[in-house]
């Protein structure tokens, strides 16, 4: 068993992107204050690979993640803000941990064992990403650690019974580990004292071309999925599991995101682009490749591996140039994409979908890996 070494947080100078070589290690500094006076921290995990990740314990948000291009130049590949104050009104959920339930629950309501629960309705009549104050907007306990030359952060949160309408006290633990071989491993665990749906995910928006890029449409995407779950105009799954063959949803072979995104297709109209759950081919098996993205200009490649049965590919359709992010970058329409590993949206109301309900005594446990490389390798 590897030994966890807790490190004392120490002050860190903020640095701009692309990073000069950052000394490997874990550091922390104050990020800002919440309205109730509590302090949010910013942790920096610097890998000997050259990758640097910054995470705040407010929402477990990944504020920065650098990756090398094919010439070895590291740049920040996630969207976000420079200050905590901006994250406090983070409507697009940049970089955050999402819970208790990633994506939508129709009508903000579901039943377990004959009892109906009413959730916060924060997306029209529907419940989205855990509600008005989901896990993306709470302050997590945070403990940095190191394992040899790999660095991580353990985030824990006690979600009280009734929070946002959900039953049961839920203890949640999310671990970020930045490995020496350029992988970010995200491990999720949870236990409850009453049956409740749980569907945790990570909501980073990526642009592998780096912070100056205005579009993700040239990125080539492969999804290891032969089916997807079509949605209605409110982005609620209809219940159908539809083959992707002969549709703009077929990413079984790497295809530029922009190649078909504006086609006259009912599902693209409903999603305003891609905003759908793909049913992974190796659904529910051990950790397997779910997605691979290559940005042809820089040669950056990201693979997503998961134990989850689904992945939400969201093409940043709600970004519209109204948000100014890190370094004064304006986030234009479709300038970031999310690949959210998950159980399917609205599963608590869809008995044919894999169940998301956990019961007392059961351990919710799942892992997703974001692996970075280049096309020169």
Q: Which two tokens stand for residue 253?
A: 């072979």
Query: In sequence order, which residues have a C-beta less than 8 Å from that of residue 259 and are 6 or more positions away?
Result: none
- Kindly tell me the burial class for residue 134, based on how many C-beta atoms sit within 10 Å of its own C-beta (0-12, 13-18, 19 or more): buried
Q: How far is the CB of 242 from ligand BGC (least distance, A)?
A: 17
- Kindly tell me the burial class for residue 111, based on how many C-beta atoms sit within 10 Å of its own C-beta (0-12, 13-18, 19 or more): exposed
Cβ(329)–Cβ(64) below 8 Å: no
Cα dihedral 352, 358, 363, 365 sign: positive
Q: Which of 43, 74, 81, 93 binds ligand BGC (CB under 6 A)?
A: 93
DSSP 2: P
Q: Which two tokens stand for residue 123?
A: 């997306």
- Determine the interface stretch with ligand BGC among 3-11, 156-164, 312-320, 326-334 (rule: CB under 6 A): 312-320
Q: How far is the CB of 340 from ligand BGC (least distance, A)?
A: 5
Interface with ligand BGC, residue 275, by CB under 6 A: yes
Residues 321-340 that bind ligand BGC (CB under 6 A): 338, 340
Question: What is the C-alpha to C-alpha distance for residues 98 and 82, in angstroms, rounded to an integer?
Answer: 20
Q: How far is the CB of 57 from ligand BGC (least distance, A)?
A: 21
Cβ(22)–Cβ(14) below 8 Å: no
Neighbours of 78 (CB within 10 A): 24
Interface with ligand BGC, residue 312, by CB under 6 A: yes
CA distances from 360 to 158, 167, 191, 202 (A): 15, 11, 7, 24
- Determine the interface stretch with ligand BGC among 110-118, 256-264, 311-319, 369-377 (rule: CB under 6 A): 311-319
Cis bond before residue 61 (omega within 30° of 0): no
Q: How far is the CB of 237 from ligand BGC (least distance, A)?
A: 11
Convert residues 181-220 into a mask of x (bound to ligand BGC by CB under 6 A) and - (unbound). ----------------------------------------
Question: What is the C-alpha to C-alpha distance for residues 274 and 94, in angstroms, rounded to an integer?
Answer: 17
Q: Which of 47, 57, 90, 103 binds ligand BGC (CB under 6 A)?
A: 103
156 backbone dihedrals φ, ψ, rounded to 5°: -130, 150
Cβ(277)–Cβ(345) below 8 Å: yes
Cβ(73)–Cβ(209) below 8 Å: no
Nearer to ligand BGC by Cβ, of 182 and 221: the residue is: 221
Q: How far is the CB of 125 from ligand BGC (least distance, A)?
A: 15
158 a catalytic residue: no
User: How many residues interact with ligand BGC (rule CB under 6 A)?
Assistant: 11
Terminal-to-terminal C-alpha distance of the chain = 31
Residues 49-88 that bind ligand BGC (CB under 6 A): none
Interface with ligand BGC, residue 278, by CB under 6 A: no
Q: How far is the CB of 342 from ligand BGC (least distance, A)?
A: 9
Interface with ligand BGC, residue 101, by CB under 6 A: no
- Determine the interface stretch with ligand BGC among 49-57, 147-155, 310-318, 364-372 (rule: CB under 6 A): 310-318
- Token look-up 């350029």 returns 182
Catalytic residue from among 127, 203, 219, 343: 203
Q: Which of 15, 70, 303, 318 binds ligand BGC (CB under 6 A)?
A: 318
Nearer to ligand BGC by Cβ, of 57 and 312: the residue is: 312
Q: Which of 101, 140, 166, 314 binds ligand BGC (CB under 6 A)?
A: 314
Interface with ligand BGC, residue 235, by CB under 6 A: yes
340 a catalytic residue: yes
Q: What angle do CA 169, 342, 213 make, to 5 degrees?
A: 120
Q: How far is the CB of 265 from ligand BGC (least distance, A)?
A: 17
Nearer to ligand BGC by Cβ, of 179 and 347: the residue is: 347
Q: Which two tokens stand for residue 154?
A: 């353990």
3-class DSSP state of 350: coil
Q: Which residues bind ligand BGC (CB under 6 A)?
A: 92-93, 103, 129, 235, 275, 312, 314, 318, 338, 340
Catalytically annotated residues: 203, 340
């Amino acid at each position: 068993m590897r030994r966890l070494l807790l490190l004392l947080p120490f002050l860190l100078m903020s640095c701009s992107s692309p990073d000069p070589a950052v000394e490997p290690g874990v550091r922390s500094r104050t990020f800002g204050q919440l309205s109730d006076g509590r302090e949010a921290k910013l942790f920096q995990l610097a890998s000997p690979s050259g990758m640097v990740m910054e995470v705040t314990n407010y929402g477990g948000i990944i504020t920065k993640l650098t990756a090398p291009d094919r010439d070895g130049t590291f740049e920040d590949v996630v969207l976000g803000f420079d200050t905590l104050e901006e994250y406090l009104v983070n409507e697009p959920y940049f970089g955050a941990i999402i819970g208790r339930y990633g994506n939508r629950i129709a009508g903000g309501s579901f039943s377990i064992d004959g009892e109906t629960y009413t959730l916060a309705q924060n997306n029209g009549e529907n419940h989205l990403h855990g509600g008005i104050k989901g896990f993306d907007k709470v302050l997590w306990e945070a403990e940095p650690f190191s394992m040899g030359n790999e660095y991580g952060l353990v985030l824990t949160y006690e979600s009280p019974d009734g929070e946002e309408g959900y039953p049961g006290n839920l203890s949640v633990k999310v671990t970020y580990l930045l490995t020496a071989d350029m992988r970010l491993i995200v491990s999720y665990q949870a236990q409850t004292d009453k049956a409740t749906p749980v569907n945790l995910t990570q909501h980073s928006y990526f642009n592998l071309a780096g912070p100056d890029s205005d579009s993700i449409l040239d990125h080539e995407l492969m999804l290891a999925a032969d089916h997807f779950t079509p949605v209605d105009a409110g982005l609620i799954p209809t219940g159908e599991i539809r083959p992707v063959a002969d549709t703009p949803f077929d990413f079984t072979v790497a295809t530029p995101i922009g190649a078909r995104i504006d086609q006259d297709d009912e599902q693209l109209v409903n999603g305003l682009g891609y905003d759908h759950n793909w049913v992974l081919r190796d659904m529910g098996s051990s950790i397997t490749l779910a997605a691979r993205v290559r940005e042809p200009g820089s040669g950056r490649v990201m693979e997503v591996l998961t134990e989850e049965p689904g992945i939400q590919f969201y093409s940043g359709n709600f970004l519209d140039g109204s948000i100014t992010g890190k370094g004064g970058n304006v986030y234009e329409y479709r300038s970031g994409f999310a690949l959210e590993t998950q159980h399917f949206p609205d599963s608590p109301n869809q008995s044919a979908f894999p169940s998301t309900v956990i019961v007392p005594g059961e351990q919710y446990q799942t892992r997703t890996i974001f692996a970075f490389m280049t096309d020169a390798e």
